[in-house]
Amino acid sequence: MLNVVIVGNGLRANNLYIPLINKLSILNLYGVCGFSFDKAKQTADLYNIKAYKNIEEILSDSRIDIIICCASWTENSTLYQKIAKGNIPALLETPLGHSTESIKKTYTSLKKGKAYVDICEQYHMRPIEQLKLKLIKSGVFGKIVYTFCNGVGHEYHGASIIRSYLGFEDKVKNICAMQKDMPYFDHSSHKNMFFPGERVQNAILEFESGALGQFHWSWLSYSSPIRANRISGFYGTRGSCFGENCMVFINKTSNPEAVLFQRNTNVVDGIEVLHEIVAYIKDKVVARWINPVPGIILNEDEMAACNFLINICKASIDKSVVPLYSIEQAYQDHLLIEKMNKCLLY
C-alpha cells in the first residue's frame, strides 16, 4: 500500500479525497495537514492517522509515497513551490496561483522539480467526456473546427473542456472577449455571488490550428436553477456534438446518423454503479468507456478524480507514466484565461 498525506482539511479533502482513498485498496490514508493544526488533529484522530504541522514536515518524512494538495486556492502557489523542491509524487489542484505572477512562479518551479506532478482537473475527465474524446480520436467526427463551453465551468475549467476537444497541444492565438454585470434577481437559490450583478463573460477564441472556440460563463451557472442548461460540445467536419446529442455522416452519400450513448450498470452492495458507457452508430459499437474501479460505489465525478489517483499510484511505481493533466496543460489554460481577462470590455 502507498501512504498518502492530504494537505488541506476542507470540503474537498473530507468529501472527495478521504472517502476515495479509503475505498482504494492500494492507498493508505497516512496523514493530514491543514491551515489549523487543531482541526487537522481532529481529522487525524477521527481516522487514526498522523497530523502534520506544515508542508516542510511532510516533505521530510520518508514514509510518505504521495501528497494530495487541496488547500485554499490562495495558498496553492506557496505550497506548490515548496512541493516542487521535494521528490514525493504529488496530485495538485487548480489554480496554480492567485495572480499572474504567482502562476508563472509556480509553473517554473514545478517544471524544474524532479517529482511526478499531476493536476486534478476533473471536467474533461468525466466518463462521458472521455468517451467523446475517444470518438474524436477515432475520426468519427472528422477534424474538429469549433468547440464551445456554455456555463459548464468557469475560467480554466471551461478552458480545459474547450481545449480537450481540440487537443491540448493546440494553443490559443487570438481572443475577443466581453464582460458585463447584468441586473441580478435576489433569489435564495442564487449563491456565491461575488459581484454587484450577474457577471457574464463571453469570448471568441482562435487557435493556432485555425479552429475557433466559444467560452460563455455566468456566475449564476453553478447554483441557479434558471441557469441550469450548462452544455459543451463541438463541430467536426463530419459531425457535431451538443452535450450528448451527436450526429455524424458515415460517408459522402449517407444520411446523418445519431451517435447514441448507453449507460450500463452493475450492482455493488445493493447500489447501481456505472460500469460502462457504450457509443453506438446504428447497431454498431464505435467506442466504449469502462469504469476502472467497477467494484466501488462512486458517482461519475468521483470516477473522474479516481482516474488521477490510479495514475499517480502507477507513477509512484513506474517513472515512465505521464500525467493525465500536466503542469504544461494547466499553465496553457491559465494563460488562455489571462489573455481573455486582459481583453475584456467593461
Share of the chain above pLDDT 70, in %: 99
At residue 126, φ and ψ (nearest 5 deg) are: -60, 150
Pairing status of strand 27-33 against strand 50-52: parallel
Predicted local distance difference test score (pLDDT) of residue 195: 76
Report which DSSP code applies to 291: -
pLDDT at res. 223: 84
Provide the residue type at 207 as one letter.
F
Right CATH for 2-115 from 3.10.20.90, 3.40.50.720, 3.30.230.10, 3.90.1200.10: 3.40.50.720
Amino acid at 311: N
pLDDT computed for residue 68 by the predictor? 97
Tens digits of per-residue pLDDT, 242-268?
Answer: 999 999 999 999 999 999 999 999 999
Distance, in Å, from the CA atom of 144 to the CA atom of 258, rounded to the nearest integer, reads 17
pLDDT bracket for residue 193 (50, 70, 90): low
Mean pLDDT computed over 139-148: 98
> Residue 30: which of 17, 16, 39 has the closest Cα?
17
pLDDT by residue (tens digit) across 72-102? Answer: 999 999 999 999 999 999 999 999 998 889 9
pLDDT at 343: 81
Domain segments of the chain as ranges: 2-115, 124-297+333-342
Q: Tell me the average pLDDT of the chain.
A: 93
pLDDT, position 267: 95
Cell of 230: 450548462
pLDDT at 345: 55
Average pLDDT over residues 289-293: 95
pLDDT tens, residue by residue, 126-142:
999 999 999 999 999 99
Which fold, 124-297+333-342? Dihydrodipicolinate Reductase; domain 2 (3.30.360)
**What is the reported pLDDT for 89?**
95
Determine the average pLDDT of the residues in 296-314: 94
Alpha-helix residue ranges (DSSP H) falling in 139-188: 155-166
The residue whose grid cell reads 524544474 is 112
Could you list the beta-strand ranges (E) of the chain: 2-7, 27-33, 50-52, 66-69, 90-92, 117-119, 144-150, 172-182, 198-207, 212-218, 231-236, 239-242, 245-248, 257-268, 271-281, 284-290
Q: How confident is the model at residue 192 (pLDDT cuts 50, 70, 90)?
A: low
pTM: 0.92
Task: Map residue 13 onto helix, strand or coil.
Answer: helix
